[in-house]
Structure 1
């Protein structure tokens, strides 16, 4: 029994349709996994930023005890922390990055201020807080790198042909990179 050309054509079209459907579902699942990885890695950044925000008031209080008349610097740190915490509610990675950059700048000025106060530089609480903050900054840098890698992977898949069609239909948009602001790119010079 031989198959008619019409039946063969229907079978070929059905096989192609099944393969395209399989590819589309697989691509959709890959995109969803990558989007979830971006979200999870952003959550890790958020945890570390909150930890930094929690350390700042203790650091400011310690410095106040030794350099209370340096009000402008202390107020700048407090204001930058408030701005960074307010930006935490923003869905924009760029706004969050800018606010965190301002906090980093003000913390750099705070640590530079310690140069003028030898008793402060020797204070164990200050040294402990400075060490904790440096450790947290390292964790933020690592989390930022992991997040940016996840964003790059998602963006590469979402912009590649032909998976860009599935990404468009699924509503998967490119994510923003969490970039270091100009202040974070240049290392803070603090000498003890």
Structure 2
């Protein structure tokens, strides 16, 4: 009888703790993605400056390519999946046109993206661990928590 009382009290407590930790982990992932996204927006602004600077002296095909990937990245949803799709070709297009004047600023922005992305990926790993764990996995499935996408930069 005492065991039944303990179980009745313990199960909701474990459920509540697991749910609270999952909510906190998902919130951490969302907050850290906002940091990555802010840095990506800085990169897009810098890419726009590169287009303006390079327009007079660079190959029009390369400028057109950068504009294409910049427009695609800006129009894409603000998600890790979209960033993983559009950032590599955008980065290559930026690298082909960035002159020495903007190279330092671009390197600084890229470093900031890498740091924010690393922090984001750590948070994703923590959430994923909770979603896969035994007790919290039941809670995660019941309440629609899913594994998050890693950011590749």
Q: Report the TM-score range of the alignment, normalised by the length of the smaller protein.
A: over 0.9
Equivalent residue for 2:107?
134
Equivalent residue for 2:122?
149
Which residue, out of 32, 42, 45, partners 1:41? 32
Equivalent residue for 1:159?
132
Which has more radius of gyration?
Answer: 1
Query: 1:109: how far off?
Result: 1.7
Query: 1:65: how far off?
Result: 2.9
Equivalent residue for 2:71?
82
Query: 1:130: how far off?
Result: 2.2
**Alpha-carbon distance between aligned partners in 2 of 1:56 and 1:161, rounded to the nearest angstrom:** 45
**Alpha-carbon distance between aligned partners in 2 of 1:66 and 1:163, rounded to the nearest angstrom:** 58
**Alpha-carbon distance between aligned partners in 2 of 1:65 and 1:149, rounded to the nearest angstrom:** 42
Over 3 Å counting, the alpha-carbon distance change for 1:41 and 1:90 in structure 2 is: closer
Q: Does residue 31 of structure 1 match 2:22? A: yes
Over 3 Å counting, the alpha-carbon distance change for 1:24 and 1:148 in structure 2 is: same
Equivalent residue for 2:9?
18
Aligned length: 153
Q: Does the 8 A contact of 2:121 with 2:151 survive in 1?
A: yes
Q: Does residue 66 of structure 1 match 2:57? A: yes
Unaligned stretches of 5+ in structure 2? none
Q: Does the 8 A contact of 2:18 with 2:135 survive in 1?
A: no
- The TM-score normalised by the length of structure 2 is 0.93
Query: 1:71: how far off?
Result: 0.1
Q: Does residue 97 of structure 1 match 2:91? A: no
Equivalent residue for 1:57?
48
**Alpha-carbon distance between aligned partners in 2 of 1:98 and 1:47, rounded to the nearest angstrom:** 17
- The TM-score normalised by the length of structure 1 is 0.75
